[in-house]
Amino acid sequence: MSRPLSDQERRKQISIRGIVGAESVAELKRGFNRHLHFTLVKDRNVATPRDYYFALAHTVRDHLVGRWIRTQQYYYEKDPKLGLDMEELEEIEEDAGLGNGGLGRLAACFLDSMATLGLAAYGYGIRYEYGIFNQKIRDGWQVEEADDWLRHGNPWEKARPEYMLPVHFYGRVEHAATGAKWVDTQVVLALPYDTPVPGYLNNTVNTMRLWSARAPNDFNLRDFNVGDYIQAVLDRNLAENISRVLYPNDNFFEGKELRLKQEYFVVAATLQDIIRRFKASKFGSTDSVGIVFDSFPDQVAIQLNDTHPAMAIPELMRIFVDIEKLPWNKAWDITKRTFAYTNHTVLPEALERWPVDLVEKLLPRHLQIIYEINQRHLDHIAFLFPNDVDRLQRMSLIEEGGTKRINMAHLCIVGSHAVNGVAKIHSEIVKTQVFEDFAALEPEKFQNKTNGITPRRWLLLCNPGLAELIAEKIGEDYVRDLSQLTKLHGCVDDDLFIREVAKVKQENKVKFALYLEKEYKVKINPSSMFDVHVKRIHEYKRQLMNCLHIITMYNRIRKDPAKLFVPRTVIIGGKAAPGYHMAKMIIKLINAVAQVVNNDPIVGSKLKVIFLENYRVSLAEKVIPATDLSEQISTAGTEASGTGNMKFMLNGALTIGTMDGANVEMAEEAGEENLFIFGMRVEDVTELDREGYNAQKYYNQLPELKEAVDQIKSGFFSPEEPELFSDVVNMLFHHDRFKVFADYEAYVRCQEKVSELYLNSKAWTKMVIRNIAAAGKFSSDRTIKEYARDIWHVEPSNLKIPPPNEPRDTAEQSTPNGTAA
Tell me the catalytic residues.
344, 535-536, 541, 643, 647
DSSP string across 623-656? HGGG-SEEEE-PPTT--S--SHHHHHHHTT-EEE
How many Å is the maximal CA-CA distance in the chain?
A: 90
Cα-to-chain-centroid distance, residue 812? 34
CA-based end-to-end distance of the chain: 50
The DSSP string of 793-807 is --------PPPTTS-
Which among 528, 517, 524, 494 is positioned nearest to 629, based on CA atoms? 528
Q: Interior CA angle at 342 toward 339 and 348, to 5°?
A: 125
- Give me the numbers of helices (H) and strands (E) for the chain, helices first please: 32, 23
Residue 658 near residue 633, CB atoms below 8 Å: yes
Burial (Cβ within 10 Å: 0-12, 13-18, ≥19) of residue 540: middle
The C-alpha atoms of residue 71 and residue 120 are separated, in whole angstroms, by 9
Give residues with Cβ within 8 angstroms of 56, minimum separation 6.
32, 82, 84, 89
Packing angle between helix 495-520 and helix 761-773, nearest 10 degrees?
A: 90
Residues 273/163, Cβ–Cβ less than 8 Å = yes
Q: Which residues contact 355 (CB under 8 A, 6 or more apart)?
A: 255, 403, 404, 405
Element (H, E) at 179: strand 179-183
Rounded to whole angstroms, the Cα distance separating 755 from 564 reads 11
Write the burial class of residue 106 (CB in 10 Å: 0-12 exposed, 13-18 middle, 19+ buried). Answer: buried
Which is nearest to 674 in space by CA: 753, 746, 743? Answer: 753
Q: Which helix (H) or strand (E) holds 391?
A: helix 389-395
Contact between residue 322 and residue 377 where contact means Cβ atoms under 8 Å apart: no
CB 743 within 8 A of CB 545: yes
Amino acid at 323: I
- Positive or negative torsion for Cα 418, 421, 423, 426: negative
CB 499 within 8 A of CB 761: no
Opening angle at CA 707, ends 701 and 711, nearest 5: 145
The three-state secondary structure class of 190 is strand
- CA–centroid distance for 342 within its chain: 13
Residue 220 one-letter amino acid: N
Q: CB–CB of 104/774 below 8 Å? A: no
CA distance 821 to 819: 6
* Contact predicate 483/668, CB 8 Å: no
